[in-house]
Amino acid sequence: MRTENQKAWFFVLPVLALVAFNALVPMMTVVNYSVQETFGNNQFFWEGLGWFEQILRSDRFQAALGRQFLFTFLILLIEVPLGIIVALSMPRKGLWVPVCLVLMALPMLIPWNVVGSMWNIFTLPKIGLMGYFLNDVLGINYDMTQQPLSAWITIVVMDVWHWTSLVVLLCYAGLVSIPDAYYQAAKIDGASPWSVFRYIQLPKMKTVLTIAVLLRFMDSFNIYTEPFVLTGGGPGNSTTLLSIDLVKIALGQFDLGPAAAMSLIYFAITLLVSWVFYTLMTKDDAQ
């Protein structure tokens, strides 16, 4: 019995080798950098956990981390309920289904830097359609290149535009898998529309919703391209999210040690929060 099971390892080996080369080995070089100091010439000096301590204590890192959490929190707060609402209002059968699905999928098909450029042009005051409309037609003082609030609203709206579809499509998949009998039974049981949502639709969407929240958390927590193209982290540092800050340190200042330490901290936080999310959301099933 036991010897038979060992065979499985042979099938895992190729994957293990592949993962080693594209993830583990690069990761170990990062670990290597994170505990050393280099002045070029391939000369390294042992630094221990110094970089980690420096990063964790720095105001700059804490501020970027705070902004990162705020951004992720905001987009989850908007995208998840909005995604559910859109999914609920989509038709379940008929000609409009493919039309809706394609429309929903479109934003996700656009490359991230293109999304950033699009929204940049769209929201520029005077030139951009939205910028012009808000300032010159509605008279709202909006300028994402100058005002932190405008910049924040823009990156949040951009992400909602780009990624709500993902939540919608996942929820929709959950919804269409609910057999008609459930709705019919609810009708006969005299359930209100809220009860139908609370006791039938939401529980059936739970698994896909867990996936949606996890994916959106990870993606938004690691977001780089779109805000970088849109605001470049500005005005000032107001939209400098963790990844943007990391790239500034690593490639702008070429501080490889601190950048490596920061990457590892960043990775650990992402992993930890994902794990907490997953544990919380699947807690009920284990019972």
Partner 1 sequence: MAQIKLSNLRHSYMPAPKGPEDYALKEIDVTWRDGGAYALLGPSGCGKSTLLNIISGLLTPSEGQILFDGQDVTALPPDQRNIAQVFQFPVIYDTMTVGENLAFPLKNRGVDPATIKRRVDEIAEMLDVTDMLSTRASGLSPDNKQKISMGRGLVRDDVNAVMFDEPLTVIDPHLKWKLRSKLKELHQRVQATMIYVTHDQTEALTFADEVVVMQEGEVVQIGTPVELFERPQHTFVGHFIGSPGMNVLPCEAKGDRAVFEGHEVMLEGPTHGDGGRTDLGIRPEYVGFGDTGIPAHVTKVSDIGRHYVVSAMVGNTALKAVTEHEVPEPGSEVFLQFKPEQSRVYRDGWIATEERAQ
Q: Which residues bind partner 1 (CB under 8 A)?
A: 179, 181-182, 184-185, 187-192, 195, 199-200, 203-204, 284, 287
In the complex, the smallest distance separating the C-beta of residue 269 from partner 1, rounded to whole angstroms, is 32
- Max Cα–Cα distance, the chain, nearest Å: 78
Q: Which is nearer to partner 1, 132 or 182 (CB)?
A: 182
- Take residue 286 and report the two structure tokens written for it: 């284990």
Measured from the CB of residue 230, what is the shortest distance to partner 1 in angstroms? 41
Q: Which of residues 251 and 280 has its CB atom nearest to partner 1 in the complex?
A: 280
Distance CA 196, CA 275 (A): 30
**Cβ burial, residue 173 (10 Å; 0-12/13-18/19+):** middle
Rounded to a whole number of angstroms, the minimum distance from the CB of residue 188 to partner 1 is 5
Between 65 and 208, whose beta carbon lies closer to partner 1? 208
Cβ–Cβ < 8 Å for 79, 72: no
Closest among 211, 223, 212 to 79, alpha carbons compared: 212
Residue closer to partner 1 by CB (options 2, 283) is 283
- For the bound state, the minimum distance from the C-beta of residue 198 to partner 1, rounded and expressed in Å, comes to 8
Q: Which residues, at least 6 apart from 143, have a Cβ–Cβ distance to it below 8 Å?
A: 125, 131, 135, 150
